Amino acid sequence: MYSDPMSTPDRLIEATQELLWERGYVGTSPKAIQQHAGAGQGSMYHHFAGKPDLALTAIRRTAEELRGTAGRLLDAPGSAYQRISGYLLRERDVLRGCPVGRLTMDPEVIASDALRAPVEETIGWLRDRLATIVQEGVDRGEFSSSLVPQDIAAAVVATVQGGYVLARASGSTDAFDAAARGLLALLAPRPDAA
């Protein structure tokens, strides 16, 4: 399943990332992690204090990966609208849902301050980054001065997360795509923008 050069800790972390996304915290047993990673019980406990420690490391890595992907799109050249559009319309595994957003539905993750922290930080980072881009669009006259950047940022995040839910419920990516297109239509630059 994993290439030989990948270290045992990395295999364990990657396996945990996949299983958390697929099964949630409770459904991700140490045995399942070890089997998925092709690692023995001793190696798991040699590198990590236990399932909570490994899960926290995996959640942090998932959060970093999401920030990296979103950051590349949001920091790309182009207008504020183009960058937000690039983020909304990027290729993603819609029917699997968001690997970070799905963690918000996991009672064990939400009940743990430590496990919840990287999720909360990542969503906060995304909202702040989007709000900055919306403000840039307002300042350049691309968007209406009546827009409240933090509100628009929250709407973008809610559209993405809600789009995942709608798509999973219908079994089709069409619902996600429609939500993204709808939000982009509402954000379309003013005709008189330079």
How far apart, in whole angstroms, are the C-alpha atoms of residue 166 and residue 173?
A: 8
How far apart, in whole angstroms, are the C-alpha atoms of residue 68 and residue 15?
A: 20
How far apart, in whole angstroms, are the C-alpha atoms of residue 186 and residue 188?
A: 6
pLDDT band at 40 (very low <50, low <70, confident <90, very high): confident
How far apart, in whole angstroms, are the C-alpha atoms of residue 127 and residue 159?
A: 12
Q: Which helix (H) or strand (E) holds 137?
A: helix 113-139
Query: How does pLDDT run across 102-161, given as a tens digit for each residue?
Result: 999 999 999 999 999 999 999 999 999 999 999 999 999 999 999 999 999 999 999 999
Q: Is the entire prediction scored with pTM above 0.85?
A: yes
Q: Which domains does the chain have, with CATH numbers?
A: 8-187 (1.10.357.10)
Query: How does pLDDT run across 57-104, given as a tens digit for each residue?
Result: 999 999 999 999 999 999 999 999 999 999 999 999 999 999 999 999
Residue 114, number of CB atoms within 10 A of its CB: 12
Q: How many CA atoms lie within 13 A of 191 on its CB side?
A: 0
